[in-house]
Structure 1
Amino acid sequence: MLIVLAALLVTAAVALSAPDTGSDPWPAARSWRDERPAPAAQGGLEPGAPEQVAPFAAPAGKPVAIHTADLPANEASGLVASRRFPGVFYWLRDGGGATAQRPRAALWTIKLGPDAHALPVRRGENFPFAQVFAAPNGDWEDVVLDDDDNLWIGDIGANDCVSEQYLYRTLEPEPDTDDPFFVTAKWPVSFPDPAEGCRTRNAEAMLWLDGELYLFAKTAKSPVYRAVFPDERGAEVELEPVAEFDAAVNKISVSTVSTDRTRLTVAGHARYWVFAADPALRGDAYLKRALQGRPVHTGTFASRAGNASVEGGSYVPGTHDLLFVAENKEMFLLPDAPSAAVAR
């Protein structure tokens, strides 16, 4: 395992060719597509217009280097790593139009192998999807994994500040089959302190931590709330305020904790913040302590398109590497060394 992980980290570091950051242990996050040769200029473009990057189609049955690939659909808006299936990540799309080949009420799969390659998951497909039954996509924004390996989908977007919001709990099927994700429970949810004239807040990030589900409002200081589930199934979930960030951290769309619990990372569309965390603390106390501190590192996403709109991210299990997905189909990696606790 250590040999495979070392190969992944060495390859990622070479691929990214990050600039020297002195004593800063976190190089700048870059798109894994950055080393792909730029396409030739196409006729009809205005001088100085952005280059048109053609969508990448992964060859059937072949591993594909992530820095050469795009996601197969846009509007990526959440990412989580599986525990049952090593290397597997699930991501979802937020609300909007759909086709049979690019559905919205579905979870999509990435399987990260050694040497930063995405491996075929099902019948030669590198990035397949599976339908989610009984969970319409109003505005899905995040997906997390609980302690019992259930996936939770947050239909928590409310850009109009009045839309209905829901939490769905689903069972994780075998990713190499056509089995769908079955919803086992559904709860309505809304924020208790909306702005005047609103019934709720917009949100894009969730976190499962120590048996509790936390939601982050996408607003100034991105306040975080703990979900209190009712005894009656289907009754509305209450959200208890827990903490908020410093004013410099705003409107986050990603939240994730490293396997060893020493780091909490949050991100917005264009920037990420890494906080040191105390692994001995639990739940609310863990978040309060981390959010009270200053980030140990912050950086921006070097998107080829200029603004990738990152809305999904997860630590790679057993490491301090971070994988991000963006609405414009780009993928990003922030590589780091594995923690000593995990390496042992």
Structure 2
Amino acid sequence: MVSAAAQTAAPAAPFEDAPSLTMPGAPVRAGRPIAIHTADLPANEASGLVASRRHPGVFYWLRDGGGATTQRPRAALYTIRLGDDAQAYPVRRGENFPFAQVFEAPNTDWEDVVMDDDDNLWIGDIGANDCVSKQYLYRTLEPEPDTDDPFIVTARYPLAFPDPAPGCKTRNAEAMLWLDGELYIFAKTANSPVYRVVLPAERNKPVALLPVTEFDYGVDKISVSAVSDDRTRLTLAGHARYWVFAADPKLKGDAFLRKAMSGKPVHTARFDSAAGNASVEGGSYVPGTHDLLFVAENKEIFLVRDEPAKPDKR
């Protein structure tokens, strides 16, 4: 394991010269952590991961807790730049995992980040382990990843679940999904109920959460949700396991989720964590593929297929 300083010492390739993200037969065994220049993520408590549309190979992740320093802040988004060899590449001035500050969005308990159809990033301050914490959605503009520009918050929406748990004022949540022009939030509880966010006409006013469906199959307390670009897969994950569900690409929005969540998974597996329990809380499909990139609170990173690994015939 090399130090963080050693991994950033190599000269950075120009950002526009990043390897294409076709990932043909990615050279990583399913369920195994990726070697990111033999180093892990630079900060713990990773929670939430999303792929950029404007910048191929770029992913953003955030933290939901942990100690904060000037070099490892919490109110910030961190960047990963993934090449077609399943390795990380420098994003900015030789840094593999740089961050950019998010102003006017305090990190009470950030849990997930998604990208909308207009390339805005939405940060979900949606954790409420104490049953009473205030929860918010922050919409931000995506800066150029290879600059020091911050993320600018353009809207802030308070939220609360309409059906709080007994003795609570809201529900705890860790997973969000942008689907067909709508934002969805999964409650972290039994059967993983999902709610559609109804944004108000006026910015910064409270949103409404409409119940959509929940699982018939025993998928509980999820922390990750993702849909493949071809819309044939819905993947959900908890701290130690992920589930892949078949989806009907012809369906939209609520109907898409109800159909996909009504059956049993076509594949499920545990994360092969070197620590035994990685506490995975962020994940995204690699654009254009059925490969999944996950980040964990213990700094591990995983690249897995959304199907069982094929036997090695060599």
What TM-score, normalized to structure 2?
A: 0.89
Residue 113 (1) aligns with residue 128 (2): no
Letter in 1 for 2:153: V
How far the C-alpha of 1:336 sits from its partner, in A, is: 6.0
How far the C-alpha of 1:9 sits from its partner, in A, is: 3.6
Letter in 1 for 2:40: D
How far the C-alpha of 1:102 sits from its partner, in A, is: 0.5
- Residue in 2 aligned with 1:31? 33
Deviations along 1:185-225, one digit per CA (max 9) or x if unpaired, are 00000111112210000000000000000000000001000
Alignment of 1:166-245 (within 5 A): 166-245=136-215
- Residue in 1 aligned with 2:272? 302
- Name structure 2 gaps, 5 residues minimum: 1-18, 308-314
Q: Distance in 1 between matches of 2:85 and 2:34?
A: 12
How far the C-alpha of 1:5 sits from its partner, in A, is: 5.3
Q: What is the RMSD computed on CA atoms of the aligned residues?
A: 1.5
CA contact (8 A) 1:220 1:247 kept: no
DSSP 3-state at the match of 2:85: helix
DSSP 3-state at the match of 2:25: helix
DSSP 3-state at the match of 1:317: coil
Q: Distance in 1 between matches of 2:171 and 2:254?
A: 21
- Name structure 1 gaps, 5 residues minimum: 17-27, 34-63, 338-344
Residue 95 (structure 1) aligned to one of 65, 87, 92: 65
How far the C-alpha of 1:232 sits from its partner, in A, is: 2.6
How far the C-alpha of 1:322 sits from its partner, in A, is: 0.2
DSSP 3-state at the match of 2:102: strand
How far the C-alpha of 1:11 sits from its partner, in A, is: 4.3
CA contact (8 A) 1:319 1:336 kept: no
Alignment of 1:57-76 (within 5 A): 64-65=36-37, 68-76=38-46
Write out the 4+ residue segments of structure 1 that deviate beyond 6 Å after TM superposition: none
Letter in 2 for 1:30: R
Alignment of 1:4-23 (within 5 A): 8-12=23-27, 15-16=28-29
Letter in 1 for 2:134: E
Judging changes above 3 Å, is the alpha-carbon distance between structure 1 residues 278 and 247 closer, same or farther for their aligned structure 2 residues?
closer
Judging changes above 3 Å, is the alpha-carbon distance between structure 1 residues 190 and 182 closer, same or farther for their aligned structure 2 residues?
same
Letter in 2 for 1:282: K
- Residue in 2 aligned with 1:267? 237
More helix by share: 1
Residue 157 (1) aligns with residue 122 (2): no
CA contact (8 A) 2:64 2:110 kept: yes
Compare CA radii of gyration and give the structure with the larger one. Answer: 1
DSSP 3-state at the match of 1:184: strand
Deviations along 1:237-282, one digit per CA (max 9) or x if unpaired, are 1100000012510000000000011100000000100000001100
Q: Distance in 1 between matches of 2:168 and 2:290?
A: 39
How far the C-alpha of 1:4 sits from its partner, in A, is: 5.3
Letter in 2 for 1:116: A
CA contact (8 A) 1:9 1:335 kept: no
What TM-score, normalized to structure 1?
A: 0.81
Count, aligned residues = 289
How far the C-alpha of 1:233 sits from its partner, in A, is: 2.1
- Residue in 2 aligned with 1:84? 54
DSSP 3-state at the match of 1:116: coil
Q: Distance in 1 between matches of 2:306 and 2:166?
A: 43
Q: Distance in 1 between matches of 2:128 and 2:217?
A: 22
Residue 319 (1) aligns with residue 279 (2): no
Q: Distance in 2 between matches of 1:108 and 1:280?
A: 34
- Residue in 1 aligned with 2:311? none
Q: Distance in 1 between matches of 2:305 and 2:98?
A: 25
